[in-house]
Chains A and B, each alone.
Chain A
Amino acid sequence: MMENVKIRIKDLNLYFGKQHILKNINVEIPEKKITVIMGPSGCGKTTLMKSLNRLTDLNPDARLSGSIFIDGEDILHTSEDITKIRKMMGLLAQRPYPLPMNIYNNIAYGLRISGRKNKRFLDRRIEHYLRQVNLWDEVKDRLRDPAGALSIGQQQRLCLARGLAVDPEIILADEPTSALDPISSQTIEEKFLELKSNYTIVLVTHILRQAKRIADHVVFMYLGEVVEQGTAREIFENPREDKTKSYLKGLFY
């Protein structure tokens, strides 16, 4: 059906205690495209995204069944080290959460964790990734300042740079612009459009216009179920399901 499928979610069910959060999810996410997961709040889109890099493991009450194949390997039932799987996916959260360190170390952290400790190598990479998110000129003179001192928009770009620095293949973004001003949001969106030539991007959003601006592929969720999925053109111009239609008309959020 689709040419290069990067992530294939098959019969995924997730429970928090007795609550059935994700119901029989079957989704395919194409490689090097922007896939937008949208839907009203509480529909499970964030949870679906977090199960992709198994951050759901952090909740001791969560139970998962089904499969998530990434490049053909089922990451829910694998002997592979979970840290390697997570490293493959950069995460951008709703609000920036800079690590409690200075700007330099925020990016160096992931590299050091994976064993890259050479000072000159770190310097070069950090400049490279800060340039990539258009942050270098703003922070080059204060790399040793605490990351928390940056503005929210700058922090979010720092978090993106931090995620890119560990060389992921996939970027998971959970409403990454919801706490940002319009200009910073635009920077992030433009960055995504640039990055999709090298990365598979999964973006969770409830901003319809944002989805229309940058999506290649759309997954529409409602109450823990996938209602409809397809290319952006199919979904936005010719939705099949009634729920999708009314959501696109703005009848519910």
Chain B
Amino acid sequence: MSKVSLTRAVRFKRIQVSRHLRDKMNSAWMLFTMVIVVVMPLILLIGLYLKSAMLLNQHSIFHLLFSKEWKPLSGEFGFFPFIVSSVWVTVVALLISAPVCLLTSIHLTQYAKKWVLSIMHPVIDMLAGIPSVIFGVWGILVIVPAIGNYVAPFFGKTVSGYSILAGAIVLSIMIIPFILNILIEIFKTIPVELSEASLSLGASKWQTIKFVLVKKAFPGIVSAFGLGMSRAFGETIAVLMVVGNVTQIPTGVFQPGYPLPALIANNYGEMLSVPLYDSALMLAALILFVVVLVFNFASRLLIVRYERHF
């Protein structure tokens, strides 16, 4: 009897050991994958910095950021035209999408019947899932000629249509569903009792929305637009297809521009025989990375400060 139970105990122990080992291994793997997620951006940042260091050793970062001269063959790498183009496209896209998103989300959550929202939700998700190259093609076929033939002449300009405005319109259509989804969720989380409190004080529905709901949702609205902005800033292909890609500092929305992501996508692998060119493109990527990081960080910081305030 004792022999049987002994072997059993040993076997049991062995199973126990292997189970514990597997358990430990599994949790180690999970930790490892988590570390990858955390460390990956850091590695990316370091890699981009190391690659662009060659250029940074030759010119000051200040000179590179604010110089207008982009002549790779004579070693001049001024990023100012690209930065300005990126800012133009992003800001105009946000100006177009902000009122649309805000008003649509308010309508859907405060005025529309429930079934409207339940229809709109999948539609918005579908819009958000359309590949960006399709928006690019649509931009070339519809937006660019519309601007070249109708909008610009209306303002007395003769242009091809490949412009900041075209890029911004395409971009805004792309970020609207993204921002809208966040805004709808935000407005849905505000308790109805808050509206009731405001209404019972004699406020109209619009006053309630303007003074109470938007105020309550403000941190969320800021973060939604912050996230939309960083997304717009980094969007490449659709913008590249309609924005014209001319190296110049655009001074109006009808002029072509050349945003940073387009610069990288158009040239990487093409002109790498030019000395320092790949280093310059890596610097462009680094700038992009840092700007997006700062946008995200700033919007989150704003939320924290605002929440402390109210």
User: Residues of A at under 8 Å CB distance from B?
Assistant: 50, 53, 55, 58, 60-61, 83-84, 86-87, 89-91, 93-95, 97, 99-102, 109-110, 113-114, 146, 148, 159, 162-163, 166, 172
Top 6 A-B pairs, shortest CB-CB distance: A87-B202, A110-B201, A91-B200, A100-B216, A146-B310, A97-B193
CA distance A55 to B211 in the complex (A): 18
Given known A87-B202, A148-B310, contact A109–B211 (CB-CB < 8 A): yes
Contact B193–A93 (Cβ < 8 Å): yes
CA distance A214 to B40 in the complex (A): 65
User: Residues of B at under 8 Å CB distance from A?
Assistant: 113-114, 191-204, 207, 211-212, 215-216, 218, 309-310
Given known A55-B196, A60-B113, A61-B114, contact A113–B201 (CB-CB < 8 A): yes
B-chain residues with CB within 8 Å of residue A172 when the two chains form the complex: 200
Given known A100-B310, A101-B215, contact A58–B203 (CB-CB < 8 A): no
CA distance A148 to B199 in the complex (A): 19
Min CB gap B200→A, angstroms: 4
Given known A100-B212, A100-B216, A101-B215, contact A93–B201 (CB-CB < 8 A): no
Most buried by B among A53, A99, A166: A99
Contact B201–A95 (Cβ < 8 Å): no
Given known A58-B192, A95-B193, A101-B215, contact A109–B310 (CB-CB < 8 A): no
Given known A58-B192, A146-B309, contact A97–B197 (CB-CB < 8 A): yes
CA distance A146 to B113 in the complex (A): 33
Number of A-B contacts (CB under 8 A): 77
Contact A58–B202 (Cβ < 8 Å): no
Min CB gap B188→A, angstroms: 14
B204 contact from A83, A90, A99, A102, Cβ within 8 A? A83
Contact A83–B202 (Cβ < 8 Å): yes
B203 contact from A60, A95, A113, Cβ within 8 A? A113
CA distance A101 to B215 in the complex (A): 8
A-chain residues with CB within 8 Å of residue B196 when the two chains form the complex: 50, 55, 58, 91, 93, 97
CA distance A113 to B212 in the complex (A): 12
Min CB gap A36→B, angstroms: 20
CA distance A109 to B207 in the complex (A): 10
Known: A55-B196, A100-B310, A113-B203. 5 other contacts (CB 8 A): A83-B202, A91-B200, A97-B194, A159-B197, A166-B202
A88, closest chain B residue (CB): B202
A-chain residues with CB within 8 Å of residue B114 when the two chains form the complex: 60-61
Min CB gap A17→B, angstroms: 10
Contact B202–A86 (Cβ < 8 Å): yes
A-chain residues with CB within 8 Å of residue B310 when the two chains form the complex: 100-102, 146, 148
B-chain residues with CB within 8 Å of residue A101 when the two chains form the complex: 215, 310
CA distance A91 to B113 in the complex (A): 25
A86 contact from B193, B199, B216, B218, Cβ within 8 A? B199
B192, closest chain A residue (CB): A58
CA distance A97 to B204 in the complex (A): 18
B-chain residues with CB within 8 Å of residue A91 when the two chains form the complex: 196-197, 200
A-chain residues with CB within 8 Å of residue B207 when the two chains form the complex: 113
CA distance A61 to B195 in the complex (A): 17
CA distance A101 to B211 in the complex (A): 10
Given known A60-B113, A93-B193, A97-B191, contact A55–B200 (CB-CB < 8 A): yes
Min CB gap B104→A, angstroms: 18
Min CB gap B110→A, angstroms: 9
B197, closest chain A residue (CB): A97
CA distance A74 to B191 in the complex (A): 29
CA distance A41 to B202 in the complex (A): 29
